[in-house]
Amino acid sequence: MIAKPASSIFDPADDAEEAGAMAETEADVTAGRMVSHEAVSWWFQSCGTPNELLLPECR
């Protein structure tokens, strides 16, 4: 029997799953659980360098 391939980001979106993810995201933002773009940008630019930063945390 051939195994079913793992899901991919290129698979069609599941509307119910997408709506749930959006609701969860909106709740996180409303509660203040987010990381600033600036913090993520600094962290990303440091990846692979000798002075790599720790993963930014929600504030």
Cα-Cα-Cα-Cα dihedral sign, residues 47, 53, 58, 59 = negative
- Predicted confidence at residue 3, as pLDDT, reads 80
Name the 3-class secondary structure at 4: coil
pTM of this structure: 0.57
Token digits for 7? 């899901």
Write out the DSSP string of 10-36: TSPP-HHHHHHHHHHHHHHHHTT----
In this predicted model, what pLDDT tens digit does every residue of 32-48 receive, in sequence order? 999 999 999 999 999 99
